[in-house]
């Protein structure tokens, strides 16, 4: 089974033999891949019972948990990496969860859809409606997203918390990069991927 493109990028950021916690791990695809290809010891947190069952079936260590309740069951620096893909915008307090990610993990990996992409701006500016796009496919009244942000918003949050951006990848819906996205990430990027650490 081929790995989803964003998970493939993240996999390349994880050192072999690491300890990884995956927040909102879905069916455990990333953790299973890291276990099988990079000898990673991992745990996933997932709220959906069907996904928890899929993790168990795949032999992935999983705990059914609500991310809005934080990571208080984990001690400081328990993991080398804490990963959260496409979930930042669905939690109640993303700023606090970023703190928790970097308390529990030596490094954090966070991905999210960029609300400032030009197509979203066009729909909002000219159409006067909340954007519906490839990365944000739900209408405003049915979306799970409660805290949409932009590349600029997230980087301002990181500066305010004195976090170091170790790696950033801004890509389109198909997870391709371009010179334009490197030059104007907030305007042209559809999805943002970050690897973070506390500034020492």
**What's the pLDDT score for residue 68?**
93
Q: Where are the domains of the chain?
A: 5-114+145-198
- Which of the listed CATH numbers 3.40.50.150, 2.60.20.30, 3.50.50.60, 3.30.70.2660 matches domain 5-114+145-198? 3.40.50.150
The rounded percent of the chain whose pLDDT value lies above 90 is 93
What percentage of the chain reaches a pLDDT higher than 70?
Answer: 99
* SS3 readout for 42-56: EEEEECCHHHHHHHH
> In 119-147, which positions are buried (b, 16+ CB within 10 angstroms) versus exposed (e)?
ebeebeeeeeebbbeebbeeeeeeeebee
Q: Collapse the DSSP code of 170 into the 3-class scheme (helix H, G, I; strand E, B; otherwise coil) and give the result.
A: strand
Task: Give the residue-averaged pLDDT of 14-20.
Answer: 97
pTM attached to this predicted model: 0.94
Strands (E), 10-162: 19-23, 41-46, 62-64, 79-85, 105-113
């Amino acid at each position: 089974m081929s790995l989803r493109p964003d998970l493939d990028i993240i996999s390349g950021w994880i050192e072999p033999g690491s300890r990884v916690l995956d927040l909102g791990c879905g069916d455990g695809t990333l953790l299973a891949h890291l276990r099988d290809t990079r000898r990673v010891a991992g745990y996933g947190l997932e709220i959906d019972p069907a996904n928890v069952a899929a993790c168990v079936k795949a032999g992935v260590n999983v705990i059914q948990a609500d991310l809005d309740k934080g990571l208080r069951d984990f001690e400081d620096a328990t993991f080398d990496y804490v990963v959260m893909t496409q979930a930042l915008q669905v939690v109640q307090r993303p700023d606090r969860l970023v703190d928790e990610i970097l308390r529990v993990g030596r490094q954090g990996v966070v991905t999210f859809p960029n609300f400032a992409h030009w197509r979203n701006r066009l729909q909002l500016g000219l159409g006067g409606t909340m954007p519906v796009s490839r990365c944000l496919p739900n209408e405003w009244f049915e979306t799970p997203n409660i805290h949409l942000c932009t590349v600029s918003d997230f980087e301002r949050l990181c500066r305010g918390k004195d976090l170091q951006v170790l790696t950033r990848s801004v890509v389109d819906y198909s997870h391709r990069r371009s010179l334009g996205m490197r030059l104007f990430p907030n305007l042209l990027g559809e999805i943002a991927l970050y690897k973070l650490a506390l500034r020492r």
